[in-house]
Amino acid sequence: MAYRKRIFFNDKQKAENWDRWQRGESMSSIGRHFDRTSSPIYPLLERTGGIRPPALRRSRLALTLADREEISRGLIAHLSLRAMTRIAWVGRKPVQDGSWLDRMLKRKPKMLVAIALANNMARTIWAVLTKQEDYRDPAKTVAA
């Protein structure tokens, strides 16, 4: 017997599988409809014990894509402004020698360093929020 390529059902085909199953058709007859055996039908039905899963939908409490985008852009805009302010203050309040920021300022233009600093802050904030831990300053961690 020749091997057939693996079949992946799209949403419309999955709905048709469930409709046929609920009407009482056997897995073999459903498979024949898709020119297959019952093998690809079984895992689809078995995952939920033969009961059609509810349609997926977002919680009304979840943020929409537009909301998340707006928050993200606002955060980055604020961090960029904060980073540019920090770079402007380098003359009045110098950075620690040998630090990441010091090395960047010696090699790159100030605007590029400000963008890199904003990116670094965003990544740090993301890590702290996702891990739900307190912030640990890398400079103090190395010294300890």
Note the pLDDT tens digit of each residue in 73-111: 877 788 888 888 888 888 788 888 888 889 999 999 988
Largest CA distance in the chain: 79
Asked if 83 and 138 sit in the same domain, the reply is yes
1 pLDDT band (50/70/90 cuts)? Answer: low
| Mean pLDDT across the chain | 83
Mean pLDDT, residues 11-30: 89
Asked if 22 and 71 sit in the same domain, the reply is no
Rounded CA separation 72/123 (Å): 12
| pTM metric for this prediction | 0.46
Tokens of 129: 């929020």
| Confidence check: pLDDT of 44 > 70 | yes
| Confidence check: pLDDT of 141 > 70 | no
Rounded CA separation 64/47 (Å): 29
Asked if 38 and 87 sit in the same domain, the reply is no
Total domain count, the chain: 2
Rounded CA separation 17/138 (Å): 55
Tokens of 121: 């802050």
Asked if 36 and 99 sit in the same domain, the reply is no
The answer to whether residues 87 and 117 touch, using CB atoms and an 8 Å cutoff, is yes
Rounded CA separation 96/59 (Å): 47
Asked if 71 and 139 sit in the same domain, the reply is yes
Cα distances (Å, whole numbers) of residue 137 to 75, 128, 140, 143: 21, 11, 5, 10
The answer to whether residues 7 and 34 touch, using CB atoms and an 8 Å cutoff, is yes
Q: What is the domain extent for residue 69?
A: 65-143
| Confidence check: pLDDT of 144 > 60 | no
Asked if 29 and 98 sit in the same domain, the reply is no
